[in-house]
């Protein structure tokens, strides 16, 4: 029996057992059969709604801003096929191989699965309008020119709109040539700014401001947990953010409020969100 089938059967058995235990518990608590059945059906309905809502593309907090919602870490063809028709954009991680002059799609330190960006692009359906966020993991002075030439070759070959493509790096110094070639660029900010002391935060903000002044990236990008900080210190800077918590967590209400704040900000152009699909996750 295939492992996938075994997993599916196991999951269904587990769900049946949960509902059976729930029914037995309610029956013991309520003497009235009809009342127990009614409560059982109500709880079952809530669980079912929560289950489907967890995997739904459309969340209440996205209302009015669905065009800003992009899928996070779409690093496999399987995941691409699942999400590309449901989101306005996708984000993927790329590493440039200076020997083969190709982009490998994977997120270090995870090992490569041998998926090149060119192969990936052959599976794109809506090449003209879909947004593509490229998290460039190893952009540096040595590979920047060759990487740009390769990316230009691919966008021309597959008829992609450069203005719909974000090239992101922690090294904005090397993004300038991509920006001059018509791509959007984003400076990947140092993470966890909210955990810094006031003194360290002030120093880090000054460093970031100097970097932005020197290299003028089109935007800055960071986790939405640092949104309040970047909104305060960089109010006029275009922002690309991500919020990748699970749907149901202890921070659910806080995340909802935070997401609405981000989406209402006209300078927050994109919000990457977690794709609750096991298929193709890496």
Q: How many Å separate Cα 89 from the centre of its chain?
A: 10
Indicate if 124 and 22 belong to the same structural domain.
no
Q: What is the pLDDT of residue 17?
A: 62
Cβ atoms of 178 and 185 closer than 8 Å: yes
- The answer to whether position 269 is within a domain reads yes
Give the Cα separation of 112 and 226 in Å (integer): 30
Indicate if 132 and 47 belong to the same structural domain.
no
263 pLDDT higher than 70: yes
- The answer to whether position 279 is within a domain reads no
Indicate if 72 and 16 belong to the same structural domain.
no
For 7-11, 178-182, 269-273, 276-280, which range has the lowest pLDDT when averaged over its residues?
A: 7-11
- The answer to whether position 278 is within a domain reads no
Indicate if 29 and 70 belong to the same structural domain.
no
CB atoms inside a 10 Å sphere around CB 237: 17
Indicate if 219 and 247 belong to the same structural domain.
yes
Q: Could you write out the DSSP letters of every residue in 75-138? A: -SHHHHHHHTTTSSEEEEEEEEETTTTEEEE--TTSPP-S-BHHHHHTT-S-TTT-EEEEEETT
Average pLDDT score over the chain? 88
User: CA–CA distance from 271 to each of 88, 238, 261 (Å)?
Assistant: 11, 12, 11
Higher pLDDT, 249 or 91: 91
68 φ, ψ (degrees, to nearest 5): -90, -10
With 0.75 as the threshold, say if the pTM is over it. yes
Per-residue pLDDT of 106-123, as tens digits, reads 999 999 999 999 999 999
Mean pLDDT in residue range 158-179: 97
Give the Cα separation of 72 and 133 in Å (integer): 9
Mean pLDDT in residue range 124-145: 94
**How many structural domains is the chain composed of?**
2
Q: What is the pLDDT of residue 10?
A: 60
Mean pLDDT in residue range 95-102: 97
Per-residue pLDDT of 222-256, as tens digits, reads 999 999 999 999 999 999 999 988 777 777 888 88
- The answer to whether position 165 is within a domain reads yes
46 pLDDT higher than 90: no
223 φ, ψ (degrees, to nearest 5): -65, 145
Indicate if 31 and 68 belong to the same structural domain.
no
pLDDT-based confidence at 5, cuts 50/70/90?
A: very low
Q: What is the pLDDT of residue 103?
A: 98
Residue % of the chain over a pLDDT of 90: 69
Mean pLDDT in residue range 197-219: 97
- The answer to whether position 108 is within a domain reads yes
Q: What is the pLDDT of residue 238?
A: 98
- The answer to whether position 25 is within a domain reads yes
- The answer to whether position 180 is within a domain reads yes
Q: What is the pLDDT of residue 15?
A: 60
Indicate if 226 and 201 belong to the same structural domain.
yes
Q: Which domain holds residue 215?
A: 58-273
Bridge partners for 93 per DSSP: 135
């Amino acid at each position: 029996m295939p492992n996938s089938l075994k997993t599916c059967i196991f999951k269904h058995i587990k769900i049946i057992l949960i509902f059976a235990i729930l029914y037995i518990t309610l029956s013991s608590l309520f003497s009235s059969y009809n009342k127990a059945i009614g409560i059982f059906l109500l709880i079952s309905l809530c669980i079912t709604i929560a289950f489907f809502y967890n995997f739904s593309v459309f969340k209440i907090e996205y209302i009015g801003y669905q065009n800003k919602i992009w899928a996070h870490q779409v690093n496999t063809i399987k995941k691409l096929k699942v999400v590309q028709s449901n989101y306005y954009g996708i984000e993927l991680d790329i590493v440039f191989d200076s020997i083969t002059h190709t982009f490998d799609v994977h997120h270090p330190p995870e090992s490569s699965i041998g998926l090149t960006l060119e192969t990936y692009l052959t599976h794109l359906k809506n090449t003209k309008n879909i947004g593509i966020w490229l998290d460039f993991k190893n952009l540096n002075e040595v590979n920047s020119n060759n990487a740009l030439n390769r990316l230009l070759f691919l966008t021309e070959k597959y008829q992609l709109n450069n203005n719909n493509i974000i090239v992101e790096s922690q090294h904005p110094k090397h993004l300038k040539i991509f920006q001059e070639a018509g791509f959007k660029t984003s400076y990947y900010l140092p993470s966890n700014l909210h955990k810094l002391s006031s003194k360290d935060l002030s120093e880090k903000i000054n460093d970031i401001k100097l970097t932005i002044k020197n290299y003028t990236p089109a935007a800055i990008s960071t986790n939405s947990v640092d949104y309040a900080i970047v909104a305060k210190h960089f109010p006029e800077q275009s922002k690309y953010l991500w919020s990748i918590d699970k749907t149901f967590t202890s921070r659910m209400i806080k995340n909802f409020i935070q997401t609405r704040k981000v989406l209402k900000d006209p300078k927050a152009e994109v919000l990457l969100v977690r794709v609750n699909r096991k298929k193709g996750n890496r």
